[in-house]
A = this chain, B = another copy of it.
Amino acid sequence: MAKVAIMGFGTVGSGVAEVLAGNAASIEKKAGEPVEVKYILDLREFPDSPFADKIVHDFSVIENDPEVSVVAECIGGARIAREYTARALKAGKSVVTSNKEVVAECGDEFLEIAREKNVNYLFEASVGGGIPILRPLTSCLAANEITEIFGILNGTTNYILTKMIKEGLSFDTALRQAQEKGYAEADPTADIEGHDACRKICILASLAFGRHVYPRQVPTTGITGVTSGDVALAHAAGKRIKLLGRTLRLDDGKIIAYVAPHLIDDGEQLAGVEDVFNGIVVRGNAIGDVMFYGRGAGKLPTASAVAGDIIDAVKHRQERRTGMEWLPGGDEIMGDDQDLPMRWYVRVSGGFAEGRPDSAANLLGGVTLINVPEREDCAGMITKNAMSRRELDRRLAETGTEALSIFPVLD
């Protein structure tokens, strides 16, 4: 019998309790022994919950109970979660979590304590909710050199962009609808400014390349600057705007990671990832491109991924699981995304009447102009050649072109 504790009885925490109870028989079979929730840590009381008798308010009860071998951290944030995770690991318990913020900020610290204490720190649910991605990356794809990962990592922004694309809504209206549906929070900053996607690409980059990539090292642009004009111009060019997190390793071994809206071709598999769904493409030197697709959030999908980690931790109580880990990072391992050659979409105000785009086009080595008849207020272009952002900015300045939006094109 394995005893586990759940910290935080909110959406994910209560989902974990429900999944462990509801699928108990098959979980016992897979874990090799029954898995029982012994404690649920929360500040609140839940007198009407079927789990009311498990509620405790003092973390040290869990910390000091040697019977508890696995702790599921479902608190969220990077303050209390950080302290309790470190203490639980130091007390010789495995910790599993869906908390991308704390993994992205201080995963390397926890992985080091876990190594010292010969326990596991697992976080499959922190990226892609219930979509299996981290474990396949380290096990099934182990024989590949991973060269690049990119994907739609945040369901809220993908829902907003889908509404803008399919129904022609403005950003503000689409955001309001997302809030009404419960897909966006009252304070939507973490989603729409790209912070959530940033944390996830940090975790993917760290796992793929073996060194911690911290959020502060990842230039992040959200979707607040995406206008209905951008959506219309992208459509006219046979493309769609999607917020992507992207990480790749350069030939010199340096890692680049960033988050930005991209234009991607209508025919691409990622373009068909709509609403709150996530899609993550992993590129390996042997496998080529593999995509993982599903709901990237939601109570039960996320809880089932946390519960999957609990099963794994229970199975590996004797022998530590290896592979899902990395070493501390450093600024010397990071490349500069401003130097990365890409093709670019540029939106300018008004039409192309003033001749500026022609000179811009020449200087940019050729562009495809985009006009939308019903949108006289804006016009755009896509460079034919790849160039660094630094180079693009220089050339735009030379031609006196005022760019209203600049987004990379995924080729």
For chain A, residues 260 to 293, give those with C-beta under 8 angstroms from any C-beta of chain B: 269, 272-273, 284-293
> 6 closest pairs, A vs B, by CB?
A143-B307, A132-B140, A286-B304, A132-B136, A290-B294, A291-B293
Structural contact, A287 and B291, CB atoms closer than 8 A: no
Q: Which residue of B lies closest to A135 (CB)?
A: B140
Chain B residues contacting A138 (CB-CB under 8 Å) are 30
CB distance from A271 to the nearest CB of B (A): 9
Q: Are A293 and B269 in contact (CB under 8 A)?
A: yes
A8 at interface, CB cutoff 8 A: no
Residues of chain A from 211 to 259 with CB closer than 8 A to chain B in the complex: none
Most chain B CB neighbours (cut-off 10 Å) among A140, A141, A293:
A140
A352 CB to nearest B CB, Å: 34
A170 sits at the interface (CB 8 A): no
Query: 7 interchain pairs (CB within 8 A)?
Result: A19-B286, A132-B140, A135-B136, A143-B303, A143-B305, A143-B306, A315-B322
List 16 additional A-B contacts (Cβ < 8 Å) besides A130-B286, A291-B291.
A20-B143, A23-B145, A27-B143, A130-B288, A132-B139, A132-B290, A136-B136, A143-B308, A272-B272, A286-B300, A287-B294, A287-B301, A289-B295, A291-B294, A315-B322, A315-B323
Digitize A118-131: 1 where CB-to-B-CB distance is under 8 Å, 0 elsewhere: 00000010000011
Judge whether B27 and A304 touch: CB under 8 Å: no
Q: Are the CB atoms of A308 and B23 closer together than 8 Å?
A: no
A142 within 8 A of B: yes
Q: Decide yes or no whether A32 CB sits under 8 A from chain B.
A: yes
Q: What is the CA–CA distance of A178 and B319 in the complex, to the nearest angstrom? A: 48
A218 to chain B, nearest CB (A): 23
What is the total number of copies of this protein in its complex?
Answer: 2
- In the complex, the answer to whether A286 meets B301 with C-beta atoms within 8 Å is yes
Closest B residue by C-beta to A299:
B286
A349 at the interface (CB under 8 A from B): no
Across the interface, name the chain B residue whose C-beta is closest to A131: B290
Give the interface of A toward B (CB within 8 A): 15, 19-20, 22-23, 26-27, 29-32, 124, 130-132, 135-136, 138-145, 210, 269, 272-273, 284-295, 298, 300-301, 303-308, 310-312, 315, 318-319, 322-323
Q: In the complex, which residues of chain B have a beta carbon less than 8 angstroms from the beta carbon of A210?
A: 29
Nearest B residue to A146 by beta-carbon distance? B26
Find out whether the CB atom of A304 lies under 8 angstroms from the CB atom of B23. Answer: no
Is B287 a contact of A300 with CB atoms below 8 Å? Answer: yes
A145 to chain B, nearest CB (A): 6
A22 to B: closest C-beta gap in Å: 8
Complex contact A288–B295 (CB within 8 A):
yes
Cα–Cα, bound, A29→B325 (Å): 12
In the assembled complex, the Cα of A300 lies from the Cα of B144 at a distance in Å of: 10
Q: Which residues of B contact A292 (CB under 8 A)?
A: 290-293
Contact yes or no, B143 A310, CB < 8 A:
yes
A30 B293 Cβ-Cβ under 8 A:
no
Q: Once the chains bind, are A32 and B290 in contact (CB under 8 Å)?
A: no
Residues in B whose Cβ lies below 8 Å from that of A32:
322
CA distance A78 to B384 in the complex (A): 52
Q: Given that A308-B139, A308-B140, A311-B142 are known contacts, is A285 also in contact with B23, CB under 8 Å in the complex?
A: yes
Which of chain B's residues have a CB closer than 8 A to the CB of A289?
294-295
Are B19 and A143 within 8 A (Cβ)? yes
**In whole Å, how far is A88's beta carbon from the nearest beta carbon of chain B?**
20
Contact between B303 and A286, CB atoms less than 8 A apart? yes
Q: Give the Cβ gap from A113 to chain B, nearest Cβ, in Å.
A: 21
Option from B136, B273, B287, B323 in Cβ contact (under 8 Å) with A140: B136
Q: Which of B284, B293, B300, B323 contacts A304 (CB 8 A)?
A: B284
A26, A293, A304: residue with the most chain B Cβ atoms closer than 10 Å: A304
